[in-house]
Structure 1
């Protein structure tokens, strides 16, 4: 079954937010702003293989779990609360399984924002509108961006720690004004991840009888 991008909002908001990173060249930005964006792009390009934990909050609803990333093309978000919810990209398709509803859906990776972040070479210089770059004395910074083609569909704020640079949270505001905040409670390089992490068959498909 195929599904629109919107159906993946819950469960894949994390990497979709990262994929919505802003363009590195915006004429309205100052030289300091552009330097911050270049710093963010360099960091994300270097994040080839990683794992960690996250907490996702929407209003009073709290969700948490673990994630794994392996570029190009692969990622896994495994929720422990709600237990069993999975979002997996195998390099070709992004798949989402909700065991509570026994629903499995998938969409081609190339049709999702995830394809930008999970590409072999991260390109963040097309199709995004920067609305704000905030820099702190500590070296931390935040970037607010919208889709240049669909500016009314929401925005994302990416927050980075400084010295050293590390992505530590993002907040997505959708077209209805709903805000989802995702905090990375841990993030570390993870070379040699098992291929099985990025495989997900349709659990709802019953085996054929002979």
Structure 2
């Protein structure tokens, strides 16, 4: 069974923000030299985030809260394991992104290249291609936030990426869709995790039964 980009994003909101980061941003006239320095710093950080794990809290437009753990290994692999609601899984094996909801006993998959996750899980992460940067906000503490949208579809919504400044660390993001609905994802922990097991990024269809077509 296949699934649309929107349906899959709803099950993996913790990485869907990167759909808005596919116009050369650094060359935009509204950006100062300091803004461009911040963007380059963010891009360098994200490019270096090749193998990591942590915990997240996702707050949806209606105030509903989802929690879970995640693992990623670029290029192409990630796993989001929700503990609330329990059992919900979103896994990319490098070729396909699979989503399993045990409450509904539904398994779906779509090619990675057709999902929002492909930008962030690419071998090379770029913030200077296909992006319109609306705002770079810098705080005295060194923290900063980048407000961006897809330059090809600017009315589809925006994402705000928030980073700690020293040392640089992705802290959270907030997605606002075309209808104005906001989803906030906070990374409560994030750490490098070399040597992740390959089994984390494998998911067989749990709904298939022996002898079932």
Q: Which TM-score bucket, shorter chain as reference? A: over 0.9
CA distance in 1, matches of 2:28, 2:126: 17
Q: Does 1:163 align with 2:166?
A: yes
Q: Does 1:150 align with 2:153?
A: yes
Q: Structure 2 length as normaliser, TM-score?
A: 0.94
Offset at residue 21 of structure 1 (A): 3.1
Q: Which moved more, 1:7-16 or 1:53-62?
A: 7-16
Aligned pair count reads 209
Match of 2:57?
A: 55
Q: Structure 1 length as normaliser, TM-score?
A: 0.95
Q: Which moved more, 1:10-19 or 1:179-188?
A: 10-19
C-alpha deviations, 1:97-149, integer Å up to 9, x for none?
11111111111111122111111121222211111110001000000111111
Listed as ranges, the matches of 1:54-203 within 5 Å are: 54-58=56-60, 59-203=62-206
Q: Does 1:21 align with 2:24?
A: no
C-alpha deviations, 1:137-195, integer Å up to 9, x for none?
10000001111111111111000001000000000111111111000000000001010
Secondary structure of 2:41's counterpart equals: helix
Secondary structure of 2:28's counterpart equals: coil
Offset at residue 57 of structure 1 (A): 0.4
Offset at residue 203 of structure 1 (A): 1.1
Offset at residue 206 of structure 1 (A): 1.9
Provide structure 1 residue ranges, at least 5 long, that are not aligned to the other structure: none
C-alpha deviations, 1:80-108, integer Å up to 9, x for none?
00000001000001111111111111111
RMSD value, Cα: 1.4
Offset at residue 30 of structure 1 (A): 1.1
Offset at residue 27 of structure 1 (A): 1.8
